[in-house]
Amino acid sequence: MEAAFLVKGLRSAFAGPFELDLGAGACAAITGPSGSGKSLFLRMIADLDPNQGNVWLNGKERASMPAPAWRKQAIYVSAESGWWADRVIEHFATGSQSDAATLAARLGLRDNVLNAPVSQLSTGEKQRLSLARALLLNPRVLLLDEPTGSLDEESVTRVEAVLQERMANGTSILLVTHDPKQAARLGSQHYHMMAGHLVTA
């Protein structure tokens, strides 16, 4: 089978080299101790940190497209979400606001959360909203860094249901998680990160 997402010799001064081969709609679950390089790996794929090596998506190489175009197809959702305006709604594109409301409801967020000021959001709400922000752009690949780290059980179930649905539609996921059960539930490939190296689990 031709891999949809292929990583070869990806490395930086701090981690790697990494090899990865992920089919369309597959999920690579990565576990490992804090500071072992899991986030660095996702950041390198998204080209947020300097790195060498090659990444292909559906046969197209990363280096052949401008960085913003690449990042839009392989969206990195960090564990610590970032906000640049006062209100939640301002972080969503103008055309996507009704879709945003629907998705927010599916993720178990309170009504009207989109009109709230960012300063009033809980950590769990921020985490789900930053995931929603990425999902609405329909990326081919999702690079998720502990997407359910601060969520209660019910919210975790809701987030996972949305992710499963995306995978069924062909979106590939790289999932960094501290929860081995979540890795087992979502992952079709399992890896363990140890001191900047990826080992098959």
Partner 1 sequence: MTPILLTPFDISIAASLIILDAALSIWLGIRLHRQLAIAAARMVVQLVAIGYVLKFAFSLDNPLATLLLVIVMVLVAAREVAARPERRFKGNSNLVIGAISVGFATFVTAILALTTAIRPQPWFDPHYAIPLAGIILGNVLNAASLSLDSLLGSVRRERPAIEARLSLGESYREATAPLVREAIRRGLLPIINQMSAAGIVTLPGIMTGQILAGLDPLEAVKYQILLMFLLSGGSGLSALAASYLAAWRLTDERQRLRLDRLA
User: Alpha helix (H) ranges present in 107-179?
Assistant: 123-135, 153-168
145: tokens are 């860094």
**Residues 90-129 as x/- pattern, contact with partner 1 by CB under 8 A:** ----------------------------------------
Q: Of the listed pieces 16-24, 26-34, 66-74, 95-103, which binds partner 1 according to CB under 8 A?
A: 66-74
50 binds partner 1 (CB under 8 A): yes
Report, in Å, the least distance between residue 7 CB and partner 1. 16
47 binds partner 1 (CB under 8 A): yes
The one among 31, 36, 39, 78 contacting partner 1 by CB under 8 A: 78
5 binds partner 1 (CB under 8 A): no
The half-sphere exposure of 185 on its side-chain side, counting CA atoms within 13 A, is 13
**Sheet containing strand 52-57, strands side by side:** 18-22, 5-11, 52-57, 60-61
81 binds partner 1 (CB under 8 A): yes
Q: Could you tell me which residues are beta bridge partners of residue 191?
A: 30, 200
| Angle, in degrees to the nearest 10, between helices 153-168 and 123-135 | 10
The one among 82, 95, 98, 181 contacting partner 1 by CB under 8 A: 82
CA 3 to chain centre: 19
CB atoms within 10 A of CB 200: 7
Cis peptide before 33 (omega within 30 of 0): no
Q: Are 77 and 70 in contact (CB under 8 A)?
A: no
Report, in Å, the least distance between residue 137 CB and partner 1. 6
142 binds partner 1 (CB under 8 A): no
The one among 1, 64, 68, 95 contacting partner 1 by CB under 8 A: 68
The one among 60, 67, 122, 170 contacting partner 1 by CB under 8 A: 67
Applying CB under 8 A, the residues found at the interface with partner 1 are: 46-50, 66-69, 71-72, 75-78, 80-84, 130, 133-134, 137
